[in-house]
Chain A
Amino acid sequence: QVTLNESGPALVKPTQTLTLTCTFSGFSLSTTGMRVSWIRQPPGKALEWLARIDWDDDKFYSTSLKTRLTISKDTSKNQVVLTMTNMDPVDTATYYCARMQYCSNTSCSGYWFDPWGQGILVTVSA
């Protein structure tokens, strides 16, 4: 069974750096084809993809947030870490990590997020 769990501070001050950890089980990020993403959701709003890291350490970022984000992995601990610099109240959101699945054949195509962690609400306030 694949599970993911986000951890980190519930409250950060404006201009601070946020560090979130995704601890997972049921798969290894050293296995070919494994990928993990971070997605966030401001209260009452839609989902926004933030970053992705692959088994081979390839990294991808949201173009709008690229300058503020860093994603990394610790394969031995089954963890993925996301840092976001210069936090602002508009960054208040629930932050989720999710495993990514992929297929490319005659019957299916693309990437999807499954499963997701339970999420962590991060509030940015002085």
Chain B
Amino acid sequence: DIQMTQSPSSLSASVGDRVTITCRASQSISSYLNWYQQKPGKAPKLLIYAASSLQSGVPSRFSGSGSGTDFTLTISSLRPEDFATYYCQQSYITQWTFGQGTKVEIK
């Protein structure tokens, strides 16, 4: 299986901050990388698919980049509703795998 490693595991940030989360794959996955947001007690919500495509309805402050093994999710200006856990997921091979998550907390 392809291992997905996110960093950091958690971070503290303030409203208005620029936040960057990194996801690294154990082998090249081209652009087969998605990002999800999960709030406590809720199901994950798709933010970014195919590394950089913004899902319909998702605010433009979210952006994704990268290819191969290294990817980033950026929130350009953190809003109160963005405090959540973020997961990356590879779809390069059918044994789809997720990162361990990055929890974004209020500073």
Contacts and interface: CB of A to CB of B under 8 A. Distances in A.
B1 A112 contact: no
Nearest to B42: A118
Given A62-B95, A107-B53, 11 more contacts: A46-B99, A46-B100, A46-B101, A48-B98, A49-B96, A63-B1, A109-B32, A110-B32, A116-B43, A118-B42, A118-B43
Interface in B42-72: 42-46, 49-50, 53, 55
Given A110-B50, A110-B92, A49 B98 contact: yes
Chain A contact surface mostly: strand
Interface of B: 1, 30-34, 36, 42-46, 49-50, 53, 55, 87, 89, 91-92, 94-101
A47 B53 contact: no
A27 B95 CA distance: 25
Interface of A: 37, 46-49, 52, 60, 62-63, 96, 101, 103, 107-119
Given A47-B98, A103-B50, A110 B31 contact: yes
Q: Which DSSP category, helix, strand, loop or mixed, fits chain B's interface?
A: loop
Contacts, number: 69
21 contacts: A46-B98, A47-B44, A47-B87, A47-B89, A49-B97, A49-B98, A52-B94, A63-B1, A103-B50, A108-B53, A109-B30, A110-B31, A110-B32, A110-B49, A110-B92, A111-B96, A112-B46, A114-B46, A114-B49, A116-B43, A119-B43
